[in-house]
Amino acid sequence: MRVLVLYAHPVQDSFASALHQTIVRTLRAAGHEVDDCDLYAEGFNPVLSTEERRGYHDVPANRAPVDGYVERVLAAEALVLSHPVWNFGYPAILKGFFDRVFLPGVSFRLVNGKVRPSLWNIRKAAAVTTYGGSRWRARLMGDPPRRIFKRVLRVTIRPGAPMSYMALYAMDLTTPADRAAFLSRVEAAMQRF
């Protein structure tokens, strides 16, 4: 299966990087073709320009500024997000990826003024993330990253596609054993992916 891994963290020696490396290594060992999209390393620009916003509904011209990324999304059969949660949301670079790449004519179509999802090439999705706060605190805030993944992304990809969300909460309070256990959990999930 062709898996697009979207990774968003700027520090190469972080725990997020260890998670990312585990995801990519394990998926490849399981026989998947992995497109490893490290948004920071690739210098992805998350800012939607004035011209892009004005041309947002001009399909297919809206793809031109990000066509290479659009092609990668359309070639994928599965999607894995690997990122931390910052301020109860996605890192800006990942949010910008969704804003700039999940365009009309790419992730959805407008039919008689109604949105119709169109990323049916994505047959499976997973998210691997860490939170600075506890699960209780994330729930109190509505846990936007989980909700966006489980609700918004779910209706954009193939109907009924399996989705998993793996999170390590209270990251700043974890022990080396906690982090090792989470890495093992992620590795096992990617072996079964």
pLDDT tens-digit profile of 99-139?
999 999 999 998 888 889 999 999 999 999 999 999 899 89
pLDDT at 110: 84
pLDDT at 152: 92
pLDDT tens-digit profile of 157-174?
999 999 999 999 999 999
pLDDT at 148: 94
Domain ranges of the chain: 2-192
CA dihedral 146, 147, 153, 155 (to 10 degrees): 140
Looking at every residue in the chain, the average pLDDT score rounds to 96
Q: Fill in the amino acid letter for 51.
A: E
| 28: its two tokens | 């490849």
pLDDT at 183: 98
Cβ neighbors of 166 (< 8 A, separation 6 or more) are: 126, 127, 128, 129, 182, 185, 186, 189
In 10 A of CB 137, how many CB atoms? 14
CA-CA distance, 106 to 88, in Å (whole number)?
27
Residues 9 and 20 sit within 8 Å (Cβ to Cβ): yes
pLDDT tens-digit profile of 54-96?
999 999 899 999 999 999 999 999 999 999 999 999 999 999 9
Assigned architecture for domain 2-192: 3-Layer(aba) Sandwich (3.40)
pLDDT at 83: 98
- CA distance to 34, 124, 181, 185, per residue, from 74 (Å): 14, 14, 34, 29
Q: Show the DSSP H helices in the chain as ranges.
A: 15-29, 50-54, 67-75, 92-101, 135-140, 144-147, 154-156, 176-192
Confidence class for position 35, pLDDT limits 50, 70, 90: very high
Distance of CA 119 to the CA centre of its chain: 14
**pTM for this structure?**
0.95
